[in-house]
Amino acid sequence: MWYPVAFICSYISGSIPFGYVVARIKGYNLRETGSGNIGATNVFRVVGKKEGIIVFVLDLLKGFLPVFYFVQISPVVGIIGALGAVLGHITTPFLHFKGGKGIATGFGSVLALMPIPAILSFGVWALLLGITRRVSVGSLGGALALPLFYFFLSKSIEIPILIIAILLTIVVFITHRSNIGRLIRGEEKAVF
């Protein structure tokens, strides 16, 4: 019974399009501006730094809060919640099932599931962002690092958690297909 409850509740939480809402309040339609994405990076570029940070925190929390609750029931229920939250962000029904790329929401979810690997992966993201000035490079690097950190740093590896870490990495690469293409062509824009 907990599996569908965790998935549905987390999906609903994850589907709240905070970036779109914050941008609309400021008079911008993110679907028609910048990269067309509703995530924190596009808000940061189009609307402003303060608004981008607010959206990042809100998107993180919509992944963290439900997963933190459901992981108390069991790790597997928490994993189902993480999957729901990230899919909710990527396929939000509020915007015709076209959402963001799932980075902040995914980070919030894994922070609740595996805090140390998540924080270390965030460090990889920040380091790569600082070096390259491209959020996509940081996101891809942090996503790749997550299952590795979990595998090598966990005292006891829970296979379902390792699987979700790998699945989330795959999801990040899928949602960043266009970014990867721009990186290969040397056309990806710097964030600062």
Asked if the structure places residue 158 within a domain, the reply is yes
**Model pLDDT, residue 191:** 85
Asked if the structure places residue 93 within a domain, the reply is yes
Asked if the structure places residue 191 within a domain, the reply is no
**Model pLDDT, residue 177:** 96
* pLDDT profile of the chain (192 residues), mean per 10: 96 98 96 92 95 98 98 96 97 96 97 97 98 96 98 93 95 96 94 83
**Model pLDDT, residue 102:** 94
Asked if the structure places residue 49 within a domain, the reply is yes
How many CB atoms within 10 Å of residue 156? 4
Asked if the structure places residue 75 within a domain, the reply is yes
**Model pLDDT, residue 16:** 98
Q: Which residues span the domain enclosing 101?
A: 2-185
**Model pLDDT, residue 134:** 96
Asked if the structure places residue 190 within a domain, the reply is no
Single out the residue of 67, 64, 51 nearest to residue 19, CA to CA.
Answer: 51
**Model pLDDT, residue 192:** 81
Asked if the structure places residue 192 within a domain, the reply is no
Indicate the pTM of the whole model: 0.94
Q: Which two tokens stand for residue 61?
A: 């929390």
Asked if the structure places residue 89 within a domain, the reply is yes
Could you give the number of structural domains in the chain? 1
Say which residues have a Cβ less than 8 Å from residue 6's Cβ, sequence separation at least 6.
66, 70, 73, 77, 78, 80, 81, 84
Q: Can you list the pairs that 34-39 forms with residues at least 24 positions away whose Cβ atoms lie under 8 Å?
A: 37/100, 37/101, 38/92, 38/95, 38/99, 38/100, 39/100, 39/101, 39/103, 39/104
